[in-house]
Structure 1
Amino acid sequence: MKLLHLDASILGAHSVSRTVSAAIAERFAHEIPDLHVVYRDLAADPLPHLSGAQLAGRAPGAENAPELQAELAASDAALDEFLSADIVVIGAPMYNFTLPTQLKAWIDRVLVAGKTFRYGASGAEGLAGGKRVVVALARGGFYGAETPQASAEHLETYLRAVFGFIGVTDLTFIAADGIAVGPEQREQALSGAVRRAEELKAA
């Protein structure tokens, strides 16, 4: 069984989402014998953002410069990692009400027509079902459905839409909320999220 572990926070060792995603990955490694883990740090080694040149470079017979060939190869590698994974763990902090640009660049590599979804007579059909996706969220404020800021939450809602679109139904979010409110709230949110991560079951 394969697990793909992604982190997108730019805060390094100070990141709450990295701490929680590591706890999630560690839990699965403990629960599943011979689990093969692939780790990708989207902040330290970011994928280039999707461009017109990249799209044109996919055309049959395209003659691409070495720099573009390298970008296309990186895109293929990211997609292959996702397709081959049984479990995907993502550390996703909220920046300015939404996801980090580095995580969006990765998503643009895995939402590929004919690979993870297709359009038919009935509309879009996800092709990436059967995976388990667990997301560690870190948010500076409180954005639950019952809060005044609920309408500004474009991280969890976006990721639910993205993975639902490609057919993922086994989707879990573990959130650490209010981490910018103060040190006590940060510690409480982090410890609670880590505890929930440590309670995850492999099946």
Structure 2
Amino acid sequence: MKKVLVLNSSLNGEQGNSTKLSQLFVEQLSSKQQIAVTTRDLSNDAIAHLTQTEMAAWMTDANERSDEQKALAAISDELIAELTDNELIVIGMPMYNFGIPSTFKAWIDRIARAGITFKYTEQGAVGLLENKKVVVLAARGGIYQGTDMDTQTKYLKDVLGFVGISDINFIYAEGLAMPGAEQSLQAAEQQISSFTDNL
């Protein structure tokens, strides 16, 4: 059975286009094979911005942490365990002001931890997460794919690659605030159907 982690971060919750696409992806995949799904809504269950106090808790030996430090370290530990436990990561990704939602950045800040998901060597940083596939369902109001304004694609490839995840796939639904939005969604839905056929 394939274990799937779904990460959503739309401010519009289940009504968000990126969330609808991630839900459709899971529905399509579940109709074709057995899967076990864990869903985390990063907008509804938002993680606070990372602080120096929390980072210091990670760097304190587990046996020496205060109660506050244990609680702070547990946030990152839980998210990393969740990521490590699943082989397929499905990301519903809206675009806000040309970037990723700040709630998703807060998630990244918790799962990118030196000595746990990456390490530094004489040759530079080496990612420690293995055997993961990521599918990003990117919903955008405008049309940015392949342009300099698409900062999301490069950032996600870079930061996920940094922790060892290189198998990253994108399905775009663009121009959703423009005429022709329905055709764009239909094209994305067709790509989802084809992609899940081959998983």
Q: TM-score, length-normalised on structure 2?
A: 0.90
Q: Is the 8 A contact 2:157 2:166 kept in 1?
A: no
- After superposition, the C-alpha distances for 1:72-94 in whole angstroms (9 at most, x for unaligned) are 32221111100111100000101
Per the alignment, residue 55 of structure 2 pairs with 55
- Give the distance between the partners of 2:125 and 2:85, measured in 1 at CA: 22
Structure 1 unaligned residues grouped into runs of 5+: none
Per the alignment, residue 39 of structure 1 pairs with 39
Q: Say if 2:182 is the partner of 1:187.
A: yes
Measure how far apart 1:28 and its partner are.
2.3
Measure how far apart 1:71 and its partner are.
3.7
Q: Is the 8 A contact 1:56 1:62 kept in 2?
A: no
Q: Is the 8 A contact 2:75 2:110 kept in 1?
A: no
Measure how far apart 1:132 and its partner are.
0.8
Per the alignment, residue 131 of structure 1 pairs with 132
Amino acid in the other structure paired with 1:52: Q
Amino acid in the other structure paired with 1:88: I
Identity of aligned residues (%): 36
Q: Say if 2:70 is the partner of 1:84.
A: no
- Give the distance between the partners of 1:44 and 1:72, measured in 2 at CA: 21
Amino acid in the other structure paired with 2:41: D
- Give the distance between the partners of 1:71 and 1:57, measured in 2 at CA: 7
Structure 2 unaligned residues grouped into runs of 5+: none
Question: What is the CA RMSD across the aligned residues, in angstroms?
Answer: 1.6
SS of equivalent to 2:151: coil
Measure how far apart 1:158 and its partner are.
0.7
Per the alignment, residue 197 of structure 1 pairs with 192
- After superposition, the C-alpha distances for 1:53-109 in whole angstroms (9 at most, x for unaligned) are 1012221323243xx544432221111100111100000101000000011111111
Per the alignment, residue 22 of structure 1 pairs with 23
- After superposition, the C-alpha distances for 1:106-150 in whole angstroms (9 at most, x for unaligned) are 1111111122211111111111121110010011111122xxxx2
Q: Is the 8 A contact 2:57 2:72 kept in 1?
A: no
Q: TM-score, length-normalised on structure 1?
A: 0.89
- Give the distance between the partners of 1:115 and 1:202, measured in 2 at CA: 31
Worse-superposed segment, 95-104 or 107-116: 107-116
- Give the distance between the partners of 1:193 and 1:137, measured in 2 at CA: 9
Amino acid in the other structure paired with 1:97: F
Matches within 5 A, 1:142-181: 142-145=143-146, 150-181=147-178
Measure how far apart 1:37 and its partner are.
0.7
Per the alignment, residue 3 of structure 2 pairs with 2
- Give the distance between the partners of 2:129 and 2:166, measured in 1 at CA: 10
Q: Is the 8 A contact 1:32 1:202 kept in 2?
A: no
SS of equivalent to 2:143: coil
Per the alignment, residue 103 of structure 2 pairs with 102
Amino acid in the other structure paired with 2:66: E
Total equivalences in the alignment? 194
